[in-house]
Structure 1
Amino acid sequence: MPAHPAASPAASASPAGPLDEETADAPSYDRRRAWLITAMIVTFMVINFADKAVLGLAAVPIMDDLHISHSTYGLIASSFFLLFSVSGLVVGFLSDRISSRALLFVMTLTWAVAQLPVLVVAAVPTLIAGRVLLGAAEGPAASMSMHALYKWYPAHRRGLPSALQISGAALGTLISAPVLTWLITEHGWRYAYGALAAVSAVWALVWWRIGHDGPYDEARPARPGKQAPLTARLPYRRILLTGTVLGSISSAFGASWALALSQAWLPSYLRTELGMSAGAAASTISIVSAFSLVLLLAVSPLMDALKSRGVTSRWSSGATQGIAVCVAGCAMAAFPFADGNPLRLLLIGLAFGTVAVAIPLHYMTAAEVVPTAQRGAVFGIVAATGTLPGLVAPSLTGHLVDAADSTASGYTAAFLVTAVVMVLTGLLAVVCIRPERDAQRLEPAGPRP
């Protein structure tokens, strides 16, 4: 690991006020290098979501070429999540011992390797093996890339970089869908896998050269007369039971439930219940994604501006994420009963688009009370928890639709269940997230890094 910039010396020998001491203790902020790392991590997330999308984009030619049923294809698709949560959790706990540079390098090389089996033998076993390996390597991707990003920014500058990292998901879908579809159509689906393998390998090599860990990865040196920064590890039970971490996990859970429902069932709902064509349904989903992207890029810089003006994290980022999930939950409960498609589509946009706000903000609030050395592990726990709705929401929705008297009433029941989950988790986030209070409660074992 490279040496980190030293803390800035005191401006003068005269007694410094609290603000001067904080500035003097802080590591140097390298704006140019920080934004270079941000660009690399956004690209990392774009590749990540392109890898996720390729199987779905190639579903029809894969089923035709290999003569497999829809249920077999579903098994291949589900195999991606077999090790996803486990790997996210394990790598999170390893992140305080292994540099982010090495972790992201190994992950991305593994993505490249995971695409190769079908280039040698195109068969169901190789597809499953590749997806299982890819899921294991992508489980930690979001949390570990956010952890790496945070090492380059002080807490009050993390809003926009966090939003850009999360926006890589939307950009990945927007960029990869037409490119991969062209490759699949013109050259065959194996070429799309090969292209992703090459792109992942190139990113890994560039990252290994420039992706060093940032200066906010280690504790600041103590000033004379000041208590030494926290170096000892806190019990994870103590960290995870703070209201801020629980509230952050809660908002992420509610948002993830809506996102899982959107990915699995929203296209079907738009086509079967609203009578849309496949193209119109795809356009609607694209508009919802664009709305999410605009919110991500607008809200997080606003959070930074509020904090710079003295607004506490409880209100600037804590309450904001909880309210966003609650608003989306209320829209989720309302749109099945809305009269007319324009109003219903507006509510659908609010229900599935607004929750994106919670994704970067829940990382920001959790990071404010977690010791730097243990941040990656806690992010891994949060990421593993966030995948649980992906295992529950789609299957529960299918059960409710099948068990209902009509398809429409089944969807309505599923959306109402989702709304209840979202409103409850959003309210819990509003009540529990208090970073300033919880940071003080953890300080008897040592001050925050």
Structure 2
Amino acid sequence: MAPRPLAPPLDRTGAPATDPPYDRRRAWLITAMIVAFMVINFADKSVLGLAAVPIMDELDIDNSTYGLVSSAFSLLFSLSGLLVGFLSTRMSSRTLLFGMTLLWAVAQLPVLLAATVPALIAGRALLGAAEGPAASMSMHALYKWFPPHRRGLPSALQIGGAALGTLIAAPVLTWLITGYGWRSAFAALAVVSALWGLLWWRVGHDGPFDHARAAPAADGTPATGPHHLPYRRLLTTGTVLGSISSAFGAAWALSLSQAWLPSYLRTELGMSPSAAATTISAVSAFSLVLLLTVSPLMDALKSRRVSSRWSTGAAQGTAVCVAGCAMAAFPFADAAVPRLLLIALAFGTVAVAIPLHYMTAAEVVPTAQRGALFGIVAATGTLPGLLAPFLTGRLLDTAGDPGTGYRTAFLIAALVMTVAGAIALVTIRPEHDARRLGLGPEQAPGPSTPGRPGRP
């Protein structure tokens, strides 16, 4: 019997000391698939908000009930993100993402069979459970195809798929809702989700930069595996806590945007369905421009040896703080143009924090534990989806008038976001925490040009 090959030497993060070859063509094909995955993901999240007014009118439900339906999406969202994060250490990303998208399709069916509040709640709860791990696990799958110094642009494109999803979903789903009824939008999303899953099963294999399992030793015995740290130590680092904090602040704004911004634009600002959809698309386009500008800039700063604390850490904390300040200001703006600009800042700027909080968290975790840690960060950072929509609905029903309820909800959001952004600014210190944990820096310079990242 031929001897087994020796296991490759591992660095202190648990990754092989010599990275495998980078397959540029396949890596960017996977990136395109994951961008489409995120487009569908955020279209699914947006559809309820876009159909809020006709659903509330047809089913004769109040704001609190609608808020409960919207919050049902997050009932299992965080828990599933946590569980699947740990499952990702044992299952391939190909299988996980395929299973998620099939569940997305199934989750649209209850409301097509019976348009009732229980059916809406059941469908949204199942959809939330299936989408809870989506952002973290698709980012984990993407990282398997790129070495650390090439991840900035792919990460931005992955989160850019979220902005692109809302940008595309707002006009297309609004057209379906106004022309063919709100159920047609749910049916269309079920079909698109199933088609993506079938295509992914054919092309979505795991990449070579996946070091969750070490190669067997020469004598055939299993290797001891990569460097492993207790999750208690990882979760109590300032970098991970700060990453969770920035995600929490960003998620509060995103959950309000998906659940209540379309209704606010129509009922409080008097916009038509098409005008509201155009405004939401404009906010998403602003987010996409920021993402495609900021993440490559972060890579450029890293190539100049700017620390992650001041590049990715400070950027995400500042983005959430700026969005919080805009959130506090726009309800009091009288002129239309300044108000719309502030709305864009409040709901669009937070998108910057999403790829960056994954990048900072990845710097202080062994590669084999990255998927699990991403699941934990996503589970805790997205809890606002459970709180913010229902709280806003209650405020609208208990306030003297809807305008007062909306202002109170936006001011609460502003407070949460500015505090969360400030915590991220103070606590995120990847280099310091990596040294304290005994890890080597994951962001290594590219092989082609010393000190500079290689071209994607």
Shorter-chain-normalised TM-score: which range? 0.7 to 0.9
Deviation for aligned residue 1:336: 3.7
Q: Is the 8 A contact 1:230 1:448 kept in 2?
A: no
The reply to whether residue 260 of structure 1 matches residue 251 of structure 2 is no
Structure 1 window deviating more from structure 2 (277-286 vs 414-423): it is 277-286
Residue deviations 1:118-138 (CA, integer Å, cap 9, x gap): 556666655544333222211
- Call closer, same or farther: CA 1:424–1:169 in 2, change over 3 Å: same
Equivalents in 2 of 1:180, 1:270: separation in Å? 16
Match of 1:109 in 2: 102
Match of 1:244 in 2: 239
Deviation for aligned residue 1:385: 1.5
The reply to whether residue 160 of structure 1 matches residue 132 of structure 2 is no
- Which of 313, 318, 322 is the matching residue for 1:318? 313
- Which of 280, 283, 286 is the matching residue for 2:278? 283
Structure 1 window deviating more from structure 2 (331-340 vs 289-298): it is 331-340
Q: State TM-score, norm by structure 1.
A: 0.83
Match of 2:59 in 1: 68
Give the alignment of 1:32-431 within 5 angstroms. Answer: 32-57=25-50, 68-71=59-62, 76-117=69-110, 126-183=119-176, 191-218=184-211, 231-271=226-266, 273-274=268-269, 276-338=271-333, 340-400=335-395, 407-431=402-426
Q: For structure 2, which runs of at least 5 residues remain unmatched after alignment?
A: 1-5, 216-222, 443-456
Deviation for aligned residue 1:48: 1.7
Equivalents in 2 of 1:305, 1:281: separation in Å? 37
Match of 1:13 in 2: none
Equivalents in 1 of 2:120, 2:284: separation in Å? 29
Structure 1 window deviating more from structure 2 (350-359 vs 268-277): it is 268-277
Match of 1:14 in 2: none
Match of 1:12 in 2: none
Equivalents in 2 of 1:186, 1:62: separation in Å? 15
Matched residue type, 2:45: K
Partner SS, residue 20 of structure 2:
coil
Partner SS, residue 73 of structure 2:
helix
Equivalents in 2 of 1:194, 1:281: separation in Å? 22
Match of 2:20 in 1: 27
Equivalents in 1 of 2:243, 2:233: separation in Å? 15
Residue deviations 1:74-114 (CA, integer Å, cap 9, x gap): 65544333322221111111111111111111111222233
More helix by share: 1
Matched residue type, 1:206: L
Partner SS, residue 364 of structure 2:
coil
Q: Percent identity?
A: 76
Match of 2:454 in 1: none
Equivalents in 1 of 2:286, 2:203: separation in Å? 33
Deviation for aligned residue 1:170: 2.2
Partner SS, residue 81 of structure 1:
coil
- Which of 423, 435, 438 is the matching residue for 2:433? 438
Partner SS, residue 311 of structure 1:
coil
Matched residue type, 1:37: I
Residue deviations 1:299-355 (CA, integer Å, cap 9, x gap): 111111111222111111111111111122222233344453333332222222211
Q: Is the 8 A contact 2:89 2:212 kept in 1?
A: no
Equivalents in 2 of 1:74, 1:233: separation in Å? 42
Deviation for aligned residue 1:429: 0.9
Q: Is the 8 A contact 1:144 1:376 kept in 2?
A: yes
Equivalents in 1 of 2:400, 2:327: separation in Å? 21
Equivalents in 1 of 2:187, 2:320: separation in Å? 39
Deviation for aligned residue 1:212: 1.2
Partner SS, residue 171 of structure 1:
helix
Equivalents in 2 of 1:152, 1:317: separation in Å? 21
Higher relative contact order (CA 8 A, sep 6+): 2
Q: For structure 1, which runs of at least 5 residues remain unmatched after alignment?
A: 1-5, 10-17, 223-227
- Call closer, same or farther: CA 1:122–1:281 in 2, change over 3 Å: closer
Equivalents in 2 of 1:410, 1:323: separation in Å? 27
Equivalents in 2 of 1:367, 1:245: separation in Å? 9
Q: State TM-score, norm by structure 2.
A: 0.82
Q: Is the 8 A contact 2:68 2:389 kept in 1?
A: no
Equivalents in 2 of 1:278, 1:195: separation in Å? 19
Deviation for aligned residue 1:69: 2.6
Q: Is the 8 A contact 1:371 1:448 kept in 2?
A: no
Equivalents in 2 of 1:73, 1:332: separation in Å? 22
Matched residue type, 1:42: V
Query: Please, what is the CA RMSD of the aligned residues?
Result: 3.3
Equivalents in 2 of 1:281, 1:192: separation in Å? 17
Structure 1 window deviating more from structure 2 (167-176 vs 349-358): it is 167-176
- How many aligned positions are there? 424
